Structure 1
Amino acid sequence: MSAIPIFSFRISMHGAKYMNSTRKTKKQLIEELDALKERILELETLGKASEQSKREFGKKIGRYFPQVEHMDEAIYVLFDRKYEFVNNKFAELFGVTEDEACSPDFDPMTLVAPESRKFVKNKYRLTSSGEFMTQQYEFTGLKKDGSKIECETFVLLIPYKWGVAIHGMLRNISVRKRIDEELQRSRSDLQIVLNSIPTSIYYLDRNHHFIRANKAFCKSLGLPMESIIGKTIAEIFPNLPKEQLSSFFEINNTVINTGNPKRGFIEILPSLRGRKWFQNDRIPYLDENGNIVGIICISIDISDLRETEEKLWYLSFHDVLTGLYNRTYFEEELLRHEYGRQFPLSVVTVKIDNLQEVNKRDGIAAGNDLLRRTAKLMKIFRTEDVAARISGDKFAILLPTAEKSIGENAIIRLKNALESQDKHPNNAPLNLSFRVTTVEKRGCSLVDVLKQAEAAIA
């Protein structure tokens, strides 16, 4: 029973103590009110100082960029992940006020599109760690109304307060990006068209670098496109002769400097499949402003035609069966030497005496073998001598600067070679007649000399 009053007494004492602690005198209340006023005044002073600091910083930026408010670029200063300063252009670009952007509660990431935030945050992180001093990059911005803009920013670090601030210049490049995308689509469409053309087409810049080529050109050289684009012809084919490279560059420079096309000229280029002949038309390559920025070359691969021409030329001056020159070429050589200075000269004539007999007895194939064996005997002559099959069973050899003794010595060598050939057990007998005719000086027809020699050996 006695414990209950004691408990009640303790509660009463505690309550009395609490009542006494909350009861303040008028003097104490006035003192606390004065202290509160001083604190409010102190905070207001700090706020004014902060505003003054911002204004002074803005003035400093204004002095640093006298026309900062009139510049076409948006200017901003970022410190401790907050905007310290933005100019009117920046505010207009993103649809915010300057005060709104620079308020302590404003997050700069709200002006960055979600797909670019990770990228921009990483740039801020690199900046805060001092890993770079200046940088340029692009990102997608986000206006206050939710629309997106493409931005390009240039940033540098400037000392500020207790650390370093990001001083940036920002441009709206949305139009440029759209143009670039359109150009890229146009280039892609152009490349598709170029690749559908069977004729080789390529573009060169003013420094002779390949900037575009179609599949036909790449195929003609036997090289992939990545081995061509961005390189010069000298880099692609480092072993090209200097005179060929000089001609290639000279034609390019002429077209670029004069603005006049160059058409129909032939060039030889190497390829993985051997030499290639191209018939070229080169015309100036103009940009959208009409400036010459390079050349466009339309190049027709005429290698097959050229090879056919060479074969026709070979056939027109060579005997198909023996591989020696024919009578047409031999007579042209006689005419060329007729007024030359390589006198005296000799003409050796050779006739297969038993050709018709072998043809009748053993067939044309056996007779052809005699012709080929006779042609092999011509290897004993000098490189400057001209050997030819001038008729069905006759051969002639032109020996420039050769008196009669040299011609007679050549006949001796022919006979020795024939004896060695006849010793082969598989060879049928080959009967040959020889004659040498020497012309001491100019003044007579060498073609007539040949005809007389033929008649004499018949």
Structure 2
Amino acid sequence: MMSRVHDVHSKNEVLLKILCGFYLISLGVHFIARGDISALPLPVSVALGSVLLLIVLGRRYPVLTMISMVCSPYVFILALSAAYLSPYSFILLSIALLVSLIYLDIRIVLFSSLLYLSTAIYWFAVLRRAGMAAGSEHNNMIYVAMFVLYVVVFSWVLIHFIKGRWSKSERGLTSINHILESIDITAWVYDLGSSQLILSPGIRRLTGLPAEALTDFRTLLKLVDPADIPLVQHSQKEMIMRRKEVLLECRLRHIDGEIYWVQVRGTPQLNELGHLVQLEGVIIDITDSKEREECMEYLAYHDDLTGLPNRAFFHMRLQQYINESVGSIALMFIDLDNFKSINDTYGHYAGDRLLQEIARRLSRQIRESDLICRLGGDEFLILLVNSDENLARKVAERINASLSEPFHCNEHQLHASASIGIHYSPDGCGDLEQMISKADEAMYEAKRKGRCRYSVDQSPI
């Protein structure tokens, strides 16, 4: 209903411009025919133009405005013929009949045709009284009636044809929208002239808002994750200033708080003069693939049993610390003393549960700036940043104290201890494999001393 009213308003505005031209041409033709404008109905022209302008700009009564627009040419022609009787007026009147086609409504065409016939009857009556058309009224009315019938039939065929094409286009657009919704793609167009954003219905699933509520770019930008707003604004500038196609990934926040990852593709569109007129593209929901990507990345750098970082992550982070020159570091190699016997006695399930609990206890003994990883089996590494030998010794003592507390699994009470080797690097430099090797040697030294101990290696690498 609202789209129909908006359509009538738009056509009223177009017809107002056409009628203004119609009045000016009519006055011009009669001025050329007579050579002066003294008898022309200028007050009527100004009054009609003013009234039509006010009701069109008011946009309150679209149907009444439409009827007024159709009637106004006939009022003007009657006023014109009252001032100066000329066949030119009747020719111009036929144009008034044809302009009613702009509404593509056969009812308006029929209404205009009735006005045309009524005006023609009045016209011939005036001519007969003036003695200018005696004896020819019958034939002239036949011609007028045939012309009106032709205009009505032509209008009906044209309206039926255009609406048929529109219907096919709308069905095709509906099908395209259904397809876009089913594959999680939202099409978008940003008109630079009107600063209006047009989105396909699929945007509702990503934002919770209908496309009609997001006709302004700034409104949509408010739904973008704050961390991604500079990237979106930069991409828009790239399209407008450098006229480049863009491809970016950002996060959209649904009104219920859920976050969607989307891929935005944008292309600048130029007119035939090479001027940038609009931006257009698609928004693709990539949340599932992004989650899979993040999951794969997590698994690539974390141990799937304990959730701790693995050797690859440990190596990457250590290299980062070395490059940033964070200062002295201490590397701790931890090996459980009796893990194999627990596996053999209670089974692998109990062994796995034990490793998970040990991982949690070890994590509680270090700072947030430090790093722990599981090498594999029953071996763990801990990296202490900005540490000295005394701090490393205290951490080792806390670890042994923590592991001395019994573990409970399936009503069994398990006991575990660890041998710890420590390699200290005052300058924070060195090769990871060599550092691990040195810490490993210190760990075996601790085992030789009786297990549940720690040993420090300070030999240079």
Q: Same fold (TM over 0.5)?
A: yes
> Aligned residue for 1:136?
none
1:357: how far off? 0.7
- 1:95 touches 1:144 (CA, 8 Å); kept in 2? no
Residues of 2 paired with 1:361 and 1:339: CA distance? 46
- 2:206 touches 2:252 (CA, 8 Å); kept in 1? no
**Partner of 1:342: helix, strand, or coil?**
coil
Q: Please tell me the residue identity of whatever aligns with 1:441.
A: D
> Aligned residue for 2:172?
189
Deviations 1:376-432 (A, max 9, x none): 111221111001011211111101100011111212322343345659986411222
> Aligned residue for 1:129?
none
- 2:186 touches 2:199 (CA, 8 Å); kept in 1? no
Q: Please tell me the residue identity of whatever aligns with 1:307.
A: E
> Does residue 343 of structure 1 match 2:314?
no
- 2:188 touches 2:281 (CA, 8 Å); kept in 1? yes
The correspondence of residues 303-452 of structure 1 with structure 2, limited to 5 A, is 303-377=287-361, 378-420=363-405, 422=407, 427-452=413-438
Residues of 1 paired with 2:430 and 2:274: CA distance? 66
The correspondence of residues 130-209 of structure 1 with structure 2, limited to 5 A, is 145-146=148-149, 186=169, 189-197=172-180, 198=183, 199-206=185-192, 209=196
Deviations 1:29-80 (A, max 9, x none): xxxxxxxxxxxxxxxxxxxxxxxxxx96626459979xxxxxxx9975859x
Residues of 2 paired with 1:94 and 1:422: CA distance? 102
- CA 1:62 to 1:290, structure 2 compared with 1: closer, same or farther past 3 Å? farther
Residues of 2 paired with 1:412 and 1:406: CA distance? 10
TM-score normalised by structure 1 residue count: 0.59
- CA 1:61 to 1:448, structure 2 compared with 1: closer, same or farther past 3 Å? same
Residues of 1 paired with 2:226 and 2:146: CA distance? 59
Residues of 2 paired with 1:208 and 1:421: CA distance? 69
| Identity in percent | 20
> Aligned residue for 1:42?
none
Q: Please tell me the residue identity of whatever aligns with 1:84.
A: A
Residues of 1 paired with 2:303 and 2:428: CA distance? 29
The correspondence of residues 65-84 of structure 1 with structure 2, limited to 5 A, is 78=75, 83-84=78-79
TM-score normalised by structure 2 residue count: 0.59
Residues of 2 paired with 1:289 and 1:184: CA distance? 32
**Partner of 2:381: helix, strand, or coil?**
strand
> Aligned residue for 1:106?
none
- 1:265 touches 1:281 (CA, 8 Å); kept in 2? yes
- CA 1:143 to 1:200, structure 2 compared with 1: closer, same or farther past 3 Å? farther
Deviations 1:288-322 (A, max 9, x none): 98754322213333322221111111111101100
> Aligned residue for 1:210?
197
Q: Please tell me the residue identity of whatever aligns with 2:395.
A: A
Name the Cα RMSD after superposition.
Answer: 4.5
- CA 1:334 to 1:405, structure 2 compared with 1: closer, same or farther past 3 Å? same
Residues of 2 paired with 1:186 and 1:290: CA distance? 28
**Partner of 1:265: helix, strand, or coil?**
strand
More helix by share: 2
> Aligned residue for 1:105?
none
Residues of 2 paired with 1:374 and 1:203: CA distance? 56
| Of 224, 228, 243, the match for 1:244 | 228
Could you say which structure has the larger radius of gyration? 1
In structure 1, stretches of 5+ residues that fail to align are 1-54, 66-72, 98-109, 118-141, 150-171
More strand by share: 1
Q: Aligned residues, how many?
A: 333
In structure 2, stretches of 5+ residues that fail to align are 1-36, 48-69, 97-106, 115-144, 445-461
> Aligned residue for 1:94?
93
1:360: how far off? 0.9
1:439: how far off? 1.1
Deviations 1:133-156 (A, max 9, x none): xxxxxxxxx99725668xxxxxxx
Residues of 2 paired with 1:224 and 1:64: CA distance? 44
